[in-house]
Amino acid sequence: MEVNKFSDTKVGMFVMVLIGWNYIGHDLLQAAIGVPLLFIGTIYFMFVFYRNCVVRRVLLKTGGKGEKEWVVVNTSKDYVSDGRTGTSSMLAYARWNHAAAYFVFVGICAIIILVRNLS
């Protein structure tokens, strides 16, 4: 009964918060840092992948009889097309490198979120 009276006071509430923090505080902190980092990082990697690894066509102008003039964006003189898909081996390497960097990033976020007591 004395514990219930103590927990109703301001000091008792503070002590209960400290006890709760001792049990789940690190997990909450890891989730509060890791989940937003994973979300923001995934959006960033999707943006960077789209800007650097996707070959896009942009419509420049349309003619009078439905003729359209297109320009291909995100190609370089180093990217030699293979003739069938319009992609190159350099572009394929860039895609694999972006994927590898993303998986490393996801691994780091998983360590932040899941690993307990890093110190």
Q: Are strands 56-62 and 68-73 parallel, antiparallel or unpaired?
A: antiparallel
Q: Determine, yes or no, domain membership for 104.
A: yes
Q: Determine, yes or no, domain membership for 2.
A: no
Mean pLDDT of 55-72: 72
Q: Regarding predicted confidence, which is higher, 81 or 44?
A: 44
According to the model, what pLDDT value does residue 102 have? 95
Provide the pLDDT confidence category of residue 103 given band limits of 50, 70 and 90. very high
Q: Determine, yes or no, domain membership for 75.
A: yes
According to the model, what pLDDT value does residue 80 have? 45
SS (H, E, C) 26-93: HHHHHHHHHHHHHHHHHHHHHHHHHHHHCCEEEEEEECCCCCEEEEEECCCCCCCCCCCCCCCHHHHH
Number of domains forming the structure of the chain: 1
Mean pLDDT of 60-77: 68
Q: Determine, yes or no, domain membership for 69.
A: yes
* Domain extent at residue 69: 33-119
Q: Determine, yes or no, domain membership for 6.
A: no
Q: What is the mean pLDDT of the chain?
A: 79
Q: Determine, yes or no, domain membership for 57.
A: yes
